[in-house]
């Protein structure tokens, strides 16, 4: 069945809501859980389902994403499996860049038309979930669908943040509305399980996960050349054109990494005793680059904290934190409710000498720091006695070295904070 599927993962737009994490990288390239990138999640879901012919469509800030995929996903010379980049390109026929999700796929159709497949799986590159796509494909085939949409039941409070689909008792999607307001939600309830009904999750939100029959996808995109987005244009057109569009209800963990607060919460939830997103489930392995790093060396005290490979943590206290690869944390520091992304490399003695000459602290977090409700992007050098977000809640804003979003301080990539700096 895997040979019947081609997977397309959308690399996302400019990612403004995740700024400053997307200042130098695309959304799918943002580090997650200390050692992965967001794009590893949909790719791993595909590989776990034995759907191993995958294209990643990229455009904005794509250099680090392209490098990660090139260095990570290698297969046997005798295998037909691949994870390839399809970068936005200007051609004589089309001088424009990708204008939206549907336009991105349309511009890449000529790259995939010569492969043998019956179905196209289209995924977002910036979501956190563990789904068995084989079950979704089986449901698609058995229901006789031309288009299947992954949906997740949500409550009335959350429904206004999503595209909401209305289904009949057989799961056929009959109508669609984009981010409906609370006062018009009532007619949009759909049949759900008794468990979801009891929880008040009676509205079906689109997950941005689609399976198209090959013929249907080509006809929809080539026949609607002005349509640039799947959710806002292509799917509503298909529903109104009597194309069989079916809902595949998913009730497991799923979150859309749409903004800084949702990203921060999703990462810190991984430190729970029983996290909703289970990194230790061997049936849903998350694949990523094998960096061959040394084990972490820890002298401090940790509580509900994830530590990635290659870290050196001195006598500090960390609570509810995610600490990324190659992180260095000095003595006497207290870090709570924070994601420290780590570093892309270790500083050599020569690097340290140059940093000292410039008056810069070593890369990492120094001694006697106090950090709370923060995200420390990669390759930052934070001096001794630095305090970040340990007082009253800070107003949102964008500054030279950091940004504040929903009370969360994000230290920008590669920033140097001298001794005693206070945010």
Residues 317 and 264 placed together within one structural domain of the fold? no
- The answer to whether residue 325 scores a pLDDT higher than 70 is yes
For residues 189 and 305, membership in a common domain is answered with no
What percent of the chain has a predicted confidence (pLDDT) above 70?
Answer: 97
Single out the residue in 271, 302, 327 at which a domain terminates: 271
One-character DSSP codes across 89-132: ---SS--S---SHHHHHHHHHHHHTTS--SEEEEEESSEEE---
User: How many beta carbons lie within 10 A of that of residue 371, not counting itself?
Assistant: 26
Number of structural domains (the chain) is 2
Q: What CATH number is associated with residue 307?
A: 2.160.10.10
Between 88 and 211, the higher pLDDT residue? 211
Confidence band of 88 (pLDDT split at 50, 70, 90): confident
Q: Which domain holds residue 345?
A: 292-417
Question: Is residue 51 located within the same domain as residue 164?
Answer: yes
pTM over 0.85: yes
Do 38 and 137 sit in the same domain of this protein?
yes
Residue 276 placed within a domain: no
pLDDT score recorded for residue 2? 57
Judgement on whether residues 300 and 371 belong to the same structural domain of the protein: yes
**What is the mean predicted confidence (pLDDT) over 36-63?**
93
The CA distance from 337 to 101, in Å, is 34
pLDDT digits (tens, 9 = 90+) for 284-321: 999 999 999 999 999 989 999 999 999 999 999 999 99
Question: Mean pLDDT, the chain, as a whole number?
Answer: 92
User: Same domain for 266 and 413?
Assistant: no
* 300 and 197, same domain (yes or no): no
Assign 178 a pLDDT band (cuts: 50, 70, 90).
confident
Domain boundary among 241, 271, 301: 271
- The reply to whether 186 and 300 lie within a common domain is no
pLDDT band for position 182 (50/70/90)?
confident
Domain presence at residue 284: no
Last residue of one domain, picked from the residues 208, 241, 271: 271
Does a structural domain hold residue 112? yes
**What number is the average pLDDT over the span 35-64?**
93
Residue with more model confidence, 43 or 177:
43
Contact 296, 307 (CB under 8 A): yes
Residues 140 and 73 in one domain: yes
Q: Are residues 296 and 366 in the same domain?
A: yes
95 part of a folded domain: yes
Closest-CA residue to 33 (of 342, 347, 324): 324
Assess if residue 81 is contained within a domain: yes
Does 72 map to a domain? yes
Co-location of 15 and 91 in the same domain? yes
Give yes or no: residues 332 and 263 share one domain: no
**CA 35, chain centre distance (Å):** 13
> Mean pLDDT throughout 134-157?
95
For residue 335, the 8-state DSSP code is: E
């Amino acid at each position: 069945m895997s040979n019947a599927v081609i997977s397309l993962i959308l690399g996302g737009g400019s990612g403004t809501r995740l700024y400053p994490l997307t200042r130098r990288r695309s959304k799918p390239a943002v580090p997650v859980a200390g050692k992965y990138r967001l794009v590893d999640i949909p790719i791993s879901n595909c590989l776990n389902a034995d759907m191993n012919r995958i294209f990643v469509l990229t455009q904005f800030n794509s250099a680090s994403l392209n490098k990660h995929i090139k260095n990570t996903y290698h297969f046997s010379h005798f295998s037909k499996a691949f994870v390839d980049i399809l970068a936005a390109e200007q051609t004589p026929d089309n001088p424009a860049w990708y204008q939206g999700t549907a336009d991105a796929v349309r511009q890449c159709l000529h790259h995939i038309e010569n492969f043998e497949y019956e179905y196209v799986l289209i995924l977002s590159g910036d979501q956190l979930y563990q789904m068995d796509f084989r079950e979704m494909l089986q449901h698609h085939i058995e229901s006789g669908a031309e288009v299947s949409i992954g949906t997740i039941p949500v409550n009335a409070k959350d429904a206004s943040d999503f595209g909401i689909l209305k289904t009949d008792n057989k799961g056929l999607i009959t109508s669609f509305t984009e981010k409906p307001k609370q006062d018009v939600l009532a007619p949009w309830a759909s049949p759900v399980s008794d468990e979801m009904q009891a929880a008040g999750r009676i509205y079906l939100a689109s997950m941005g996960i689609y399976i198209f029959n090959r013929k249907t996808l080509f006809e929809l995109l080539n026949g609607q050349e002005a349509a640039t987005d799947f959710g806002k244009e292509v799917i509503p057109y298909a529903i109104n054109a009597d194309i069989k569009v079916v809902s595949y209800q998913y009730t497991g963990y799923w979150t859309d990494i749409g903004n800084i607060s949702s990203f921060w919460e999703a990462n810190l939830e991984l430190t729970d005793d029983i996290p909703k997103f289970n990194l230790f489930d061997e049936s849903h392995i998350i694949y990523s680059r094998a960096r061959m790093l040394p084990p972490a060396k820890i002298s401090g005290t940790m509580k509900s904290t994830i530590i990635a490979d290659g870290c050196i943590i001195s006598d500090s206290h960390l609570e509810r934190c995610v600490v990324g690869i190659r992180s260095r944390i000095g003595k006497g520091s207290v870090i709570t409710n924070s994601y420290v992304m780590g570093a892309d490399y270790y500083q050599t003695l020569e690097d340290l000498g140059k940093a000292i000459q410039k008056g810069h602290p070593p890369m990492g977090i120094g001694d006697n720091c106090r950090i709370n409700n923060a995200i420390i992007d990669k390759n930052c050098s934070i001096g001794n006695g630095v305090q970040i977000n340990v007082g009253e809640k800070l107003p949102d804003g964008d500054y030279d070295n950091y940004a504040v979003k929903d009370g969360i301080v994000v230290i920008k990539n590669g920033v140097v904070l001298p001794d005693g700096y206070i945010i």
